[in-house]
């Protein structure tokens, strides 16, 4: 019997019991749509996290003192010497071969005030390399010079600060008061958007780090140093080199490291791995509904075989082979599954777009997930339809004709 004939017979059988067919298809539709949607959410989240973290640069490393503090009390007195200072910065610039950009980060908290406008924006003391490390760019004006503007009361501001403090005027040349200290705006930054964890990367005020360190914080201590490795794949070597230089400067011979160094490559890999695991869990949960749909197909096929026992006996009596009966019922099962797959894929696309539009979650429907879902539907139809079809093909024609 030709495949075309089998398809026609399977269609006629399915159309004779429309409601039963619809209910069987519905189980597969829900399963496939759930899988497509969950995979889209997982892929979208993974890509969003990766994009946000790479906005800082894939080659970036962060250096911080390794201090174990609880309730504001330093627990390890041996780490009391483990603080960063300007001499460390100069040593790293001079000696580190795997670093091509480096900048301290000294923060001050307060209100930025211009006339009647104010904004609780953090003031960050940095060097000019910080723009390269964090992928910032000047839009208007200039960046301050590390040597010429060492202690100058100047600043560069982000677009959110421009909107909050200078809504109707050009900020270049204007003055911002921060903790009652005036800072002249000499440049504005191009818009950058949200950061790693949703913070506004445009709500920033950058000033020379010596200015913030001495005029605002009255300290020589640097809390954090940002640096860029010379290229992709060099972050680990750069981290080891930085730790070696800092230890040698202090003659450090204790078993614990005086500093913590975070490589952006490692953080991206860790976050991607966590996101992959979450995607796998979500997909596995959604796949359960696909399994339930497959069991529903098996149940319906069993009922169909029982109801059509006499028909099977009659077809066998006039010459149909067991293989023909097997293929007929197997085609019905596969058609139910594939029809549910087509509808489920379309519904999954729609659900993913709805999640993106309504909940504002990032979603990506990958071609691979569609192909896999379609393949799984075919396998589901064959797997769950095989046993009922095999049972039908092994019926005794005489006993089938006598069936009431």
- Summarize pLDDT for 248-283 with one digit per residue, the tens: 888 888 878 888 888 877 777 777 777 778 777 877
pLDDT digits (tens, 9 = 90+) for 121-134: 999 999 999 998 88
Assign 102 a pLDDT band (cuts: 50, 70, 90): very high
pLDDT at 65 over 80: yes
Where exactly are the structural domains of the chain?
3-53+270-402, 102-229
pLDDT of residue 362: 84
| pLDDT at residue 196 in the model | 46
Least confident of 147-156, 176-185, 288-297: 288-297
Whether residue 72 is predicted with pLDDT greater than 50 in this model: the reply is no
Which positions ≥6 away from 382 have C-beta within 8 Å?
330, 333, 334
pLDDT band at 75 (very low <50, low <70, confident <90, very high): very low
pLDDT band at 201 (very low <50, low <70, confident <90, very high): confident
- In the predicted model, is pLDDT for residue 398 greater than 70? no
Q: Is the pLDDT of residue 311 over 80?
A: no
pTM for this structure? Answer: 0.62
Q: What is the pLDDT of residues 107-118, one digit of tens each?
A: 999 999 999 999
């Amino acid at each position: 019997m030709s495949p075309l004939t089998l398809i026609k017979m399977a269609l006629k059988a399915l159309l004779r019991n429309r409601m039963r067919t619809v209910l069987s298809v519905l189980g597969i539709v829900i399963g496939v749509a759930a899988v497509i949607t969950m995979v889209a959410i997982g892929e979208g989240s993974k890509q969003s996290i990766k994009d946000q973290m790479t906005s800082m640069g894939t080659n970036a490393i962060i250096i911080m003192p390794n201090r174990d503090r609880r309730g504001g009390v330093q627990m390890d007195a041996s780490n009391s010497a483990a603080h960063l200072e300007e001499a460390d910065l100069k040593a790293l610039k001079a000696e580190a071969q795997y670093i091509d950009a480096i900048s301290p980060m000294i923060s001050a908290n307060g209100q930025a005030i211009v006339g009647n406008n104010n904004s609780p924006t953090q003031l960050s003391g940095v060097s000019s390399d910080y723009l390269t490390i964090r992928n910032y760019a000047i839009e208007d004006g200039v960046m301050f010079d590390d040597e010429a503007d060492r202690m100058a009361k100047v600043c560069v501001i982000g677009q959110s600060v421009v909107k909050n403090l200078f809504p109707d005027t050009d900020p270049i040349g204007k003055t911002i008061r921060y903790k009652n200290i005036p800072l002249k705006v000499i440049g504005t930054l191009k818009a950058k958007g949200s950061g790693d964890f949703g913070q506004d990367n445009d709500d920033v005020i950058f000033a020379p780090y010596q200015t913030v360190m001495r005029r605002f914080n009255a300290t020589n201590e640097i809390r954090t140093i940002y640096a860029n490795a010379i290229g992709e794949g060099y972050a680990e070597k750069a981290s080891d080199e930085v730790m070696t230089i800092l230890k040698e400067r202090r003659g450090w011979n204790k078993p614990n490291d005086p500093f913590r160094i975070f490589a952006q490559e490692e953080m991206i890999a860790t976050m991607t791995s966590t996101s992959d695991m979450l995607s796998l869990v979500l997909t596995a949960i959604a796949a359960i509904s696909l399994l339930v749909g497959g069991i529903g197909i098996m149940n319906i096929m069993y009922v169909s075989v029982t109801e059509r026992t006499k028909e099977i006996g009659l077809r066998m009596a006039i010459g149909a082979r067991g293989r023909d009966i097997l293929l007929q019922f197997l085609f019905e099962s596969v058609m139910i599954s594939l029809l549910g797959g087509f509808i489920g894929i379309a519904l999954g696309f729609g659900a993913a777009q709805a999640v993106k539009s309504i909940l504002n979650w990032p979603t990506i429907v990958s071609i691979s997930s569609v192909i896999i879902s379609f393949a799984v539907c075919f396998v589901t139809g064959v797997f769950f339809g095989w046993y009922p079809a095999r049972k039908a093909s092994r019926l005794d024609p005489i006993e089938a004709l006598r069936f009431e």
